[in-house]
Amino acid sequence: MLPILAPIAFTLSLAVIEDSAAQDRYAAERAQMAREIAGMAAMTAAETGRPAFAASVMAAMAKVPRHRFVLPAWERDAYQNRPLPIGEGQTISQPYIVALMTDLIDPKPGHTVLEIGTGSGYQAAVLAELVAAVYTIEIVAPLGRRAAETLRALGYRNLQTRVGDGYNGWPEKAPFDAIIVTAAAPFVPQPLVEQLKPGGKLVIPVGDRLDVQQLMVIEKAADGSIKSRRTIPVRFVPLTREAPAK
């Protein structure tokens, strides 16, 4: 992940953030987290092309209970704008990165989205707030099962989870309006590009574990041609091809 910037005072004109204050004991912390995300969006606009994230994306970030997706020992830190360990050598992404990747795919209510790397399930939950259907794949079986249980307990019914190798995508559910990959690959997997609809977007960190990774946006034009652009440097765990021993 990117180095965490100091908290920034930033006023959001999102009524849903204020309205959520009475919903649960973490509502105020989620609202503060959203303000910090908005501040970082403004600071990184030159690189990302996004001076402000969509109101719908920010509303989802202010709504999804991140504390339900972290380990109990880290619950009190759940709304800090930084990655946290979730076990099995993996992390839950920094909220700003989740918001950025979500915003970069321009999610719409009728979209179908594929996520590679379920992890804790947090990114999938944010997507499920915004689109019609989410399909998410996790190669680490214990994480995949735990995420599925959490998402089910929170009442998300518009998503499906799978334990397996995400490199080849989810062909039987393709094509997708957008694909998000939450692990770094040395190159963009061709099967994922092929499973994008014309007009679709793929957001993926590209680079080796020891190198600076770049968060890439891949767009498929109506004629099937591809264009890509870099946004910001990031640090993700590597995209693995084979399931580890259980």
Residues noted as catalytic: 93
Nearest partner of 128 among 145, 111, 141, 142, judged by Cα: 111
Taking the C-alpha atoms of residue 17 and residue 106, their distance in angstroms, rounded to an integer, is: 21
Residue identified by tokens 């990031």 is: 234
HSE at residue 194, side-chain half, CA atoms within 13 A, is 9
HSE at residue 214, side-chain half, CA atoms within 13 A, is 12
Could you tell me the two tokens for 120? 């804790």
Residue 201 near residue 104, CB atoms below 8 Å? yes
Beta partners for 181? Answer: 116
Q: How many CB atoms lie within 10 A of CB 179?
A: 28
Beta partners for 215? Answer: 205
Containing 141, the helix (H) or strand (E) segment is: helix 141-153
What does the CA dihedral 83, 74, 148, 244 come to, rounded to 10 degrees? 70
Could you tell me the two tokens for 169? 């995508």
Residue 140 near residue 244, CB atoms below 8 Å? yes
